[in-house]
Amino acid sequence: MEDEVDRLVAAWRRERPDLDVEPLEVLSRVSRLARHLDRARRLAFSEHGLEPWEFDVLTSLRRAGAPYQLSPGQLLTQTLVTSGTMTNRIDRLAKKGLVERLPDPSDRRGVLVRLTPEGRDRADEALAGLLAQERAILAQLSQAQRGDLAGLLRQLTAPFDNIPG
């Protein structure tokens, strides 16, 4: 079965036979897959009235376990945004009733962000929708192939995920 990347690589091999375009065979597919995944994620989230960034914050809190709360600094670490952006996001989610701010009992100047019951329900529903979309994307691969692919992708991403700072 031929795909768009096969056509792209063939054209570059024809036009630039002096270059080794083999990396395109893998990374162009990863890039294209990321775009398809982004569309699927946006669809899954919009069905539950969420934006991707809202899902990221809500699921960070959900994964924290009961009582589903983190400090803004912990949320920053998990979502990789600036503190100003995170403050804005928390404000917007609080206005929607999906999170609440509470005083941090261990730091009287600090706050904790806690998922509300509605926020938890939305996060859970959106996650289920996302997983259905992702299962559909992976449907043509066997369980063993999915495991192999996950391992190979881990090898590529781990060095980026483990850079200090």
Question: Kindly report the CA angle at 43 between 41 and 45, in degrees rounded to 5?
Answer: 70
pTM summary value? 0.81
pLDDT for position 81: 87
Q: What is the pLDDT of residues 104-150, one digit of tens each?
A: 888 888 899 999 999 999 999 999 999 999 999 999 999 999 999 99
| CA–CA gap between residue 158 and residue 150 (Å, rounded) | 12
Q: What is the pLDDT of residues 92-114, one digit of tens each?
A: 999 999 999 999 888 888 899 99
Q: Write down the domain spans for the chain.
A: 2-154
CATH of region 2-154: 1.10.10.10
pLDDT for position 165: 57
User: SS3 for the chain, per residue?
Assistant: CCCHHHHHHHHHHHHCCCCCCHHHHHHHHHHHHHHHHHHHHHHHHHCCCCCHHHHHHHHHHHHCCCCCEECHHHHHHHHCCCHHHHHHHHHHHHHCCCEEEEEECCEEEEEEEEECHHHHHHHHHHHHHHHHHHHHHHCCCCHHHHHHHHHHHHHHHHHHHCCCC
